[in-house]
Amino acid sequence: MSSHKEEEASQDRIDNQGLSGVFIGLGALLIVLGALFFVGQSAGFDPGRVGWPFFVILPGLAVSGVGLAAGDPTGKRLTPLGAAVTTVGVILLYQNTVDHFESWAYAWALVFPTSTGLGRMLYGSLRGNKEMVESGGRWALIGTALFVAGAFFFELVVGIGGFGIGLVRYGWPLGLVILGIVLLVGGLLYRRR
């Protein structure tokens, strides 16, 4: 009976060490960030103008890190959440850098289901949870397909970002022809079954 209590106490110490490591890492990160901001402010650099998306990226990375360190069941929820927040920050960094905020029309697919799927894959692979890896992979694949289809439609057909390559005028007819071909081929393949 006492060996069972000793095992529990040992496991509690291991859990506490992992959690304290997260706090130590986050504390060190905040100290480094604070020092960098201090130096930047002293040199006249305004990080808010260009670097504000990092105020989203860094907390997302922190939430992912806490999720990876926490274990089940908390980690299962926090890691994909942190991945989604980090992805929002990365998208905002891109959009802020190139002034392409209209890409939100399709970039949402990178947040959910793509990044949450990648978060599930990461957590599942580190914890040996094959089901999480497989479902996360499906989510990421679906999200990537939605992103590519949305980017094609909104950028090339509609031309929301001004990056159209002449498909604005011919995009709708071309889209109808492609959809017709897909339906025709799908119908023929289904009939052969």
20 CB-side CA count, 13 A: 6
Same-domain status, 68 and 123:
yes
**What's the pLDDT score for residue 105?**
95
- DSSP SS3 for 164: coil
**What's the pLDDT score for residue 141?**
95
**What's the pLDDT score for residue 68?**
93
Q: How many domains does the chain divide into?
A: 2
| Successive 10-residue mean pLDDT values, the chain, 193 residues | 60 57 73 79 73 92 93 92 96 92 96 97 95 96 94 83 65 78 84 72
What distance in Å separates the CA atoms of residue 87 and residue 112, rounded to the nearest whole number?
A: 9
Same-domain status, 120 and 189:
no
Structural domain containing residue 144: 46-162
**What's the pLDDT score for residue 160?**
86
Same-domain status, 156 and 179:
no
DSSP string, 65-98: HHHHHH-TTHHHHHHHHHHHHHHHHHHHHHHHHH
Same-domain status, 53 and 113:
yes
**What's the pLDDT score for residue 144?**
94
Q: 6 lies in a domain?
A: no
**What's the pLDDT score for residue 4?**
62
**What's the pLDDT score for residue 117?**
97
